Amino acid sequence: DAGVIQSPRHEVTEMGQEVTLRCKPISGHDYLFWYRQTMMRGLELLIYFNNNVPIDDSGMPEDRFSAKMPNASFSTLKIQPSEPRDSAVYFCASSPRRDENTFGSGTRLTVV
């Protein structure tokens, strides 16, 4: 298995633009998580899905952020419009059960 695959690896965009981050979880994993990591705030859970259904989105910072999981093998995290304070590394992770999240390599987002 190739692990959790995220794209793009790096994204540089201008303030106000829409940004879409993509994630392919490990096949057979029922849970999918989106995290954000910054120096100031550390690692934060944004939202997670179970069997493609969003379960807890209380970590999503504001309405500019949205996440979807249209099927078991794909999820997106969208920021519209993007702002410089959204600059961070965004991780996707998947898991077959409560423990052992497997993380993707992350997307480093820079909003200028």
Partner 1 sequence: EDKVVQSPLSLVVHEGDTVTLNCSYEVTNFRSLLWYKQEKKAPTFLFMLTSSGIEKKSGRLSSILDKKELFSILNITATQTGDSAVYLCAVEARAGGTSYGKLTFGQGTILTVHP
Binding-site ranges for partner 1 (CB under 8 A): 31, 42-45, 48, 50, 55-56, 58-59, 91, 93, 98-106
- Cα distance between the two ends of the chain: 36
For partner 1, the closer of residues 17 and 103 by Cβ is 103
Q: Which residue has the tokens 């692990």?
A: 3
CB of 108 to partner 1, least distance (A): 10
In the complex, the smallest distance separating the C-beta of residue 88 from partner 1, rounded to whole angstroms, is 14
5-27 burial, b at 16+ Cβ within 10 Å, e below that, comes to ebeeeebebeeeeebebbbbbbe
Q: Quote the CA–CA distance of 33 and 55 in Å, as a whole number.
A: 10
Query: Closer CB to partner 1, residue 82 or residue 101?
Result: 101
- Rounded to the nearest whole angstrom, what is the least distance from the CB of residue 89 to partner 1 in the complex? 9
